[in-house]
Structure formats: structure tokens, C-alpha cells
Structure 1
Amino acid sequence: MKKTLLSLCLSLGLLAGAQAAQTDASAAPKISAQTLHNLSWTPLVPPVTQEVTLGGTKIDQGEIQGAVAAFSLPADRGSLEIVLTSLVTGKTVYAPNVLVLDEQMRPAAFYPASYFPYEKPGLVSSDRLEGTLKLTPALGQKQIYLLVYTTQRDLQSTTQMVNPAKAYAAGVGNAVPDIPDPVARHTPVGTLSLKVSAEQKAGNVMIGQLFPSSEPAAAPAMIGDTAKPAPEAKPAEPMLAESDDYFNGAIKKAVQAGEIDKALKLLSEAERLGSKTARKTFIDSVKR
């Protein structure tokens, strides 16, 4: 049941236009739950740009080899856009793979190293591997997780770069010289830059389960201090029939248009105002 629900969530993101390079999380190397829970997860609260030097935390398990970076992201601030950059240092670079986990630390999406292609230097940027992740956490979660690692296969590969003289000549419109291009060796350490922003666009990959599961879930792993829970809110009064009809119609139209993120926001607002039918409308619309 769990796998079915997770696959459906990923399918919704793909139907909304997610990039084809994203693959099923089942394709990622297996990592034990104990290893995941033992990692120190660095919280990133958007908007934020953070540079990380890899080397302190490592995983040598199965295909995974070398330094890793572990981040937690808020799941209650709408959709997230994450630009992940691995900077070329000299003639070496770290080839990143990204595993996205939901609040229960279940694998939800996987981005292999091929998702982060080489980008030649520009006026204000250097040689790098770079890719953009667009994620939409499912309702009811507080946080999701991002694990960046490299593999034995990646370490055996290299990245063909562009000679700086060629890049400059092309940039200013001069004839490109016929000179060899350098090659960057892949290493188990490196430097990453992450730019995280909350955004309202469609086309994101759904992270977590949209519908309740009949299987018990492990307690979520919280990062940092656990705040005292706020007093329970008073249940909203039942929504007027006219308002209920309006939200249900808007949800149906959003799902039919592939605007899953918009439909989720309408669902959230409708339930906050007391709707008892919006969730069923959303689920039925998705199934159709």
C-alpha cells in the first residue's frame, strides 16, 4: 500500500511537468534507516544560499562512497526550488547524487549525477555541475530531507570542461581557438552551493503521501530543539454550501489543468474554513 501511494505522489509531480531526468527513488542505492537517523541534518530555511565544504561526514555503504551532505527543509511553506551547484576546484569536482526523503525518512525522489550536467563558466560564475530540483511537500508534513552523496561509479568518471580561453572568446564574439579542453577528475570531497527558495509554480515533484496510509509509520525524526506544542485550535464551523461548491469546483479545475500545487492550496484553505468535502473532491479528481 505504501509503495502504491508513494508512486502515485511521484506520478502527480511528473504529470505536472517535472523534468524527465528525475527517477523513481527505488533506483537509488539502499541506505539503512540507522545510517539516516545518525546523520547530522543541517536545517535550511528559505530563502537561503549556503556553501558547504564536504569532507567531515562520510558514508561508505554499498555503492555510496565518500563525503555526504545532509539537509532538512521546511515542508509547510509551499513548493521549494533548490539550485544545487558543485563547484569545480582546479581540475577536480564532486559529482552529486540527491536522495529526497519525506518526513518519515522514506525515499521519495532520486536525482542521479546525470541530472547535474556541466555548466561552462560565465562572467560571474565558474566551471560547475548544476541542477534545479522543484519539490512540493504533501500536506501535513513539517519537514523533508535532502541527502547529497557520490558513488563508486561516479568516482571512476570525469567531466569534460571548456577551456577558459574558448569560453571567453565565445562570450565576446571572437573566433574560438582550437585548443584542448581540460578534464575534471571526480573526487569523494568537494564544495557545494545550495540556493533554496519557496515558490508557487507548478511542475514540481510531490514529496510524501497525499492520502492516509493504513500502515503504521515510524515517528518522524525532528531536527533541533522540539518546541512546546501550541494549544489545539478550535474546529472550524461547517462551511456554507455555496462556499463548499465554489472550492470543490476550483479544485476540480486545478487538477484537470495539471495545477496540483494550486489544487493543494485550495484544499488546505477549504479545510481551514471548515469544508468536509474538499479532500474527497481532490482525491476523486486526481484518481480520474
Structure 2
Amino acid sequence: MNNLRFPLLGLAMLMVAGCGSDPLRRVDALAQTPAPLETPISTARQVLADAPVCCDAIKAFPFQPIPANFSADVTLDASAPAYRFDSGKSFFRAFELPRESKSFEIRLYSQAGDTVLAPSVMLLDGQLRMTRLLDADDFVYVPAEGLKGDSLDARLRIDRTYLDNSGNERYLVLFAADADGQTVLQHPAKAYAKALGNEPPSIPDPVAQHSPVGVIKMVLIEDKAAGQQANSYVPAYSTGREMGNELPSIRAPAVLPETQAYYRQGIDAALASKDLERALRLADEATRVGDAGAKAYLLERIEIK
């Protein structure tokens, strides 16, 4: 029955939604399920336990340069290096982000099947100091829709307004945040009923156990607005001491209008879809990057509604 999940749901949602779905969020539902999603949890954990630690420090990570139009499935399994993070040992993939591009958004979709990898994302500046750390709580379960399967999703923005700033976020590391939990998925029969406007059947939802191996689709999308200029802008750091790195005390600059607009549009979209949890996370992140009025804006929008 599990093998029918994506094709059945894909047909149902295509009949209802037509071709209006975001193509960047689509995963070929008819393709073979990636091997990491079929690996038994016990086997995956043993493979991780047996994997050698690749590096003594983050600065020794094998960072792979990626272009501004990057879009690909990133596999975390025995083919990836392993490292002992503060949260525990994990397979990881490390990327050098585009430096000369416009500001851009990164969209991440951790694909779910019998298992799912609950991701963590580490962002670092040009001196390999950590600027942000996203964990499993920053990823939201999104049920299968159209040709996109079940996944744990997150979106973040990388600022490239001032290209000559060494404090820009230059590197991204993907690894596992939680290999012991689980995610309850929406049963395909319920999704099919909803797509047809019917009452969903009262049946148990499948559960995807969190695994140390998995597949994450990563998509970079450049801002449409043109133009950057040189300046001394330095992004605000969200924390003081993480991963053994002492971060300097830097006064947060005034938030850029483009950044403020990005987060407030995201808050509006989250509220429009009745996703208060995402709206709160966006308000928190906006506050960390210098938008002191983000939480007040969220409260105002809630009161208006």
C-alpha cells in the first residue's frame, strides 16, 4: 500500500490543483523511493556508528561550491562524511554558498517515506564562525501535494546586499538534528478525500521514524530585485558561543528594508494559511537579524484578523 502513496495522491491533487503548484517544490512522485528512506533504522544507526569521523574541526570540512541556481537532492548516508557535532555524531554535507550573487532564498525539503531525516542547518560566515543554527523545530511537516511527497520543509534567506563584507554568511552545513524522534504523516486516503472535498476517513496516519540517513532537496532562488553596493554592513549574530567558537560582540545594525519586507511578507503568508507556528518562527528570526518591530507586527496582524 505504501508504494501507491505518491502516485495516488499525485493524481488526486493534480485533478484538483491543475498546474498551479510551485515547480520548485516538486519531487517526481513516480520515481523509485530513494534508498536511504528504505534503510531500516537499526541498520542506518549501525552504519553511522561504524563511520569514521572525517575531521578534527569544522574548518577541515570538504566544502563544495554551489551556484546561485543550485537545485538538487542532497543525500546523507554512508557516502557522506561524518562528524561529531555538539548534538552528536552525524553524516553531513558542507557547501560554499555563492558569493557574487544577489541575495537569495534557500528552500529545504527533507523527503519522508518509511523514515525521514530531521535536519539541522548550520550557517557560517567567512571566518567559519557560526551565525545561525536551525534544528528540527525549524522544519515543518508538509503533507504530499501534487507531485511533491511528504517532507519536512524550511526556508531561509541569505543576505548579499553588501558583497565586500567578510561577515556575510558564506557556508552551509546540513546534518541530522534528531535521529530518535518520529513524524506523523498524513494518510494518503485522507489527502485524497480532502482533495475531492470529502470527509477524511477515520484511519490511523503512518509514522516515519527519524533516521540518521535521508535525502534533502535543496533549492536556491535569487532575489528578483537588482543591485548591491559596497558598505560596512555586518549581519547580527543570533548567539554568543556555539560549536566551540567565541563570537565577537557586534552591535546589530538597522535592519535593511528588503530584509524587513521579506520577513513581514512571510508572516502575512503564514497567517493567511493559518500557520501561526511558522509566523512565530519568522517573527523570532526577524528579531534576531535586527527587526525589533517584527513581533509587534505579528501581534497587530493577529488582532486585525
Quickly say closer, same or farther: Cα 1:48–1:150, change in 2 above 3 A. same
Counterpart CA distance in 2 for 1:67 and 1:54 is 6
Larger Rg: 1 or 2?
Answer: 1
Higher relative contact order (CA 8 A, sep 6+): 1
Give the alignment partner of residue 170 of structure 2, picking from 141, 144, 169.
Answer: 144
- 3-state SS, counterpart of residue 148 of structure 1: strand
Q: Which runs of 5+ in 1 are unaligned?
A: 1-32, 202-208, 213-254, 263-285
What CA deviation, in whole Å up to 9, does each residue of 1:55-106 have, x standing for no partner?
12111243133211111111221211110110013x2000011111111111
In the other structure, the counterpart of 1:184 is 208
The CA deviation at 1:260 is 5.8
The CA deviation at 1:48 is 2.0
Counterpart CA distance in 2 for 1:199 and 1:259 is 10
1:49 partner amino acid: S
Counterpart CA distance in 1 for 2:190 and 2:234 is 53
8 Å CA contact 1:65–1:188 kept in 2: the answer is: no
The CA deviation at 1:34 is 4.6
What CA deviation, in whole Å up to 9, does each residue of 1:25-71 have, x standing for no partner?
xxxxxxxx952122111221011211121112111243133211111
Instruction: Tell whether 2:104 aligns with 1:111.
Output: no
8 Å CA contact 2:165–2:233 kept in 1: the answer is: no
Counterpart CA distance in 1 for 2:146 and 2:258 is 36
Give the alignment partner of residue 153 of structure 2, picking from 130, 147, 151.
Answer: 130
In the other structure, the counterpart of 2:257 is 258
- 3-state SS, counterpart of residue 37 of structure 1: helix
Q: C-alpha root-mean-square deviation of aligned residues, in Å?
A: 2.9
In the other structure, the counterpart of 2:111 is 87
8 Å CA contact 2:165–2:234 kept in 1: the answer is: no
Quickly say closer, same or farther: Cα 1:211–1:150, change in 2 above 3 A. closer
Counterpart CA distance in 2 for 1:109 and 1:47 is 22
- 3-state SS, counterpart of residue 67 of structure 1: strand
Counterpart CA distance in 2 for 1:67 and 1:181 is 29
8 Å CA contact 2:115–2:208 kept in 1: the answer is: yes
In the other structure, the counterpart of 1:38 is 60
The CA deviation at 1:197 is 1.7
8 Å CA contact 1:66–1:188 kept in 2: the answer is: yes
- Give the structure-1-normalised TM-score: 0.56
Counterpart CA distance in 2 for 1:187 and 1:211 is 37
- Give the structure-2-normalised TM-score: 0.53
Counterpart CA distance in 2 for 1:58 and 1:183 is 27
2:92 partner amino acid: V
Quickly say closer, same or farther: Cα 1:198–1:164, change in 2 above 3 A. same
Quickly say closer, same or farther: Cα 1:261–1:139, change in 2 above 3 A. farther
- Structure 2 counterparts to residues 11-22 of structure 1, below 5 A: none
How many equivalent residue pairs?
Answer: 180
- 3-state SS, counterpart of residue 167 of structure 1: helix
In the other structure, the counterpart of 1:167 is 191
Counterpart CA distance in 1 for 2:172 and 2:156 is 11
Counterpart CA distance in 1 for 2:71 and 2:110 is 13
1:44 partner amino acid: I
Quickly say closer, same or farther: Cα 1:73–1:257, change in 2 above 3 A. closer
Instruction: Tell whether 2:96 aligns with 1:72.
Output: yes
